[in-house]
Amino acid sequence: MYLKNHIFLGFIFSLALLLISPQIGLIGFFLIFLSSVLIDIDHYLYYVYKKKDWSLKNAYKWFIKTSKIFLSLPRKQRNNLYGGFCFLHGIEILLILFLLGIFVSKFFLFIILGISFHLILDIVDESKCKDRVDKFSIIHDFLKFKKLKFIEDNEKK
């Protein structure tokens, strides 16, 4: 899902939670909203690792380009590709944040809400374009991606 969609839907989700449960306050609202968007920093870091380029603008253009290439392929071919390893997109991060929320600060529980909302949006979006779900478990994705081709490898053919 594109960043602008995560920003818009994350804002609506955070605002709805604030209206339903005003006790979360502005801090809770901002933590939920920001975590629903900033989780995608791992996409940028993947770009930096892959391309050895720190340009945020170039990273954005690269992801738009690879996304268009990916979506132009037949569904069966998309199932054999991956777009990058996203280390913040998985249940393991939620478990760590849950433990931090219990033992350190309740603010981590707000972050869990934002990240969970983001992950749900990603799963729904993925189900529209391929027959598998990535970004549920970091460990599972890491092991699975060894068997798949990277989207740019497909582009070079």
Binning pLDDT at 50, 70 and 90, where does residue 150 land? Answer: low
DSSP sequence for 33-90: HHHHHHTTHHHHHHHHHHH----HHHHHHHHHHHHHHHHHS-HHHHTTEE----TTSS
Compute the mean pLDDT over every residue in the chain, rounded to the nearest whole number: 88
Per-residue pLDDT, averaged over 115-134, amounts to: 87
pLDDT-derived band at 87 (thresholds 50, 70, 90) equals: confident
Q: Is the pLDDT of residue 157 over 50?
A: no
Identify whether the C-beta of residue 131 lies closer than 8 Å to the C-beta of residue 75. Answer: yes
E strand or H helix that includes residue 144:
helix 138-145
**Ramachandran angles phi, psi of 89, nearest 5°:** -95, 85
122 has a pLDDT exceeding 80: yes
Task: Specify the pLDDT at position 52.
Answer: 95
Confidence of residue 126 (pLDDT cuts 50, 70, 90): confident
Task: Work out the average pLDDT over 23-52.
Answer: 95
pLDDT tens-digit profile of 65-86? 988 988 899 988 888 877 777 8
Secondary structure element (H or E) that encloses residue 155, with its range: helix 151-155
CB 139 within 8 A of CB 90: yes
Q: What is the pLDDT of residue 141?
A: 73
Would you place residue 131 in the very low, low, confident or very high pLDDT band (cuts 50, 70, 90)? Answer: confident
Question: How does residue 103 score in pLDDT terms, banded at 50, 70 and 90?
Answer: very high
Mean pLDDT throughout 9-31? 98
Query: What distance in Å separates the CA atoms of residue 109 and residue 141, rounded to the nearest whole number?
Result: 24
